[in-house]
Amino acid sequence: MDKRIFLSSPTMHGEEQVFIKEAFDTNWVAPLGKNVNEFEKEMAAYIGVGHAAALTAGTAALHLAVKLAGVKPGDKVFCSDLTFSATVNPVRYEGGEQVFIESERETWNMDPRALEKAFAKYPDCKCVVVANLYGTPAKLDELRAICDDHGAVMIEDAAESLSATYKGQQTGTFGQYNAISFNGNKIITTSGGGMLLSDDEAAVAKARFWATQAREPFPWYEHKEIGYNYRMSNIVAGIGRGQLLHLDEHRQLKEDIYRTYEAGLAGLPVKMNPYLDCSRPNFWLSCMTIDPGCPVTPEQVRLALEAENIEARPIWKPMHLQPLYAANDFITVGDRVGEDIFARGLCLPSDIKNTPEDMERIISVIKGLFT
């Protein structure tokens, strides 16, 4: 059997260990220390945002963002529909009720027209969670303008899109509160971790307070609010500092993979995941859709790849189709875009360690199904 080709696995370089060693050498093996402080500063500087709080996961960042937005039990929150469940679950942690918003075809992200329609139906909604799927920026300025018009807080879930830009501006800066992830499959990883980003210094300070058990400034443990154990450890932050040195290089390698698929699959009845000319995705995952009417199914492609020890994955199943959220409202402007992409799409192996030979192996399996 040929070697396993992964969808997107960690790529380590060596500098990570230098930062970890320093933490060991100085015995800062705790959820605080130089690596945490520096990683926050370095990441905020890279992205161009005022403040960052390093946390145990992107999900934790989204949870604290939802709290900062003031979501209370029973509140409606408009959420991207075609995304991973972690984008939307934190709304439920706070007792809020997600209303899922249909995607558009140009980026596969939240459709501004559907968002407007949602505000017409639920004018009291005060929070919107927008994800950039597979590293492709949504129509971020349009979405933000609609949120502003309705006095709603926008949370940007940039978990998958770190280093992508929209009109020259980094993702993770378009919401009042923004989240990124360093999960093992992401463009850079800390094995597990995330960050909350915002220009609002007081909000980020509050998030750090909640993330460290909401301990009041007393000599004894004094609590007025519910807290969480969400702070990133100094060891984990060391991995992040080492990885950040390679973020731009990872983005370029991800783009190379996308371009290789684009050229290699040309002529087949398939399309690559689309993006706007005004944006520069990070190409975290390359995906394809099979043209309508073609008898080949994404599942046939996935199974053919798996038979060759190559990992591919179905498109994320839309949230409004999830049994967990069967009772939630879903706002569409007619065309069922998310369902269609889920039915016709597939996430292709996008591991930056793929060699040209690996890419040829993948592309020839796919081509074999269409001839």
Cβ-based nearer residue to ligand PLP, 64 or 268: 64
Ranked by CB distance to ligand PLP, the top (closest) residue is 58
| Least distance between ligand PLP and beta carbon 235 (Å) | 17
- Burial of 8-17, coded b for 16+ CB within 10 Å and e otherwise, reads bbbbeeebbe
* Residue 32 C-beta: closest distance to ligand PLP, Å: 20
Tell me the closest approach of the beta carbon of residue 164 to ligand PLP, in angstroms.
12
Whether the CB-CB separation of 77 and 127 falls below 8 Å is answered with yes
Q: Is 159 or 270 the residue whose CB approaches ligand PLP more closely? A: 159
User: Rounded to the nearest 5°, which phi and psi values hold at 205?
Assistant: -65, -40
**Residues lying near ligand PLP in the complex (CB under 6 A):** 57-59, 83-84, 86-87, 131, 157, 159-160, 181, 183, 194
For residues 170 and 163, what is the distance between their CA atoms, to the nearest angstrom? 6
Separation CA 193–CA 179 (nearest Å): 11
Question: Cβ neighbours of residue 133 under 8 Å, at least 6 residues apart?
Answer: 80, 82, 83, 103, 107, 108, 109, 160, 316
Q: Which helix (H) or strand (E) segment is 169 a member of?
A: strand 169-170
Nearer to ligand PLP, 117 or 313 (CB): 313
The smaller minimum CB distance to ligand PLP, of residues 268 and 341, is found at: 341
**Is the separation of the CB atoms in 330 and 102 below 8 Å?**
yes
**Residue among 5 and 130 whose Cβ is closer to ligand PLP:** 130
- Output 68 or 86, the one with its CB closest to ligand PLP: 86
**Phi, psi values for residue 265, rounded to 5°:** -100, 0
Q: How far is the CB of 371 from ligand PLP (least distance, A)?
A: 34
DSSP symbol at 311? -
**Least distance (Å) from ligand PLP to the CB of residue 181?**
3
75/160 with CB nearer ligand PLP: 160
Q: Residue 364 Cβ, how far from ligand PLP at the closest point, in Å?
A: 29
CB of 334 to ligand PLP, least distance (A): 25
Closest CA to 271 of 297, 298, 290, 293: 290
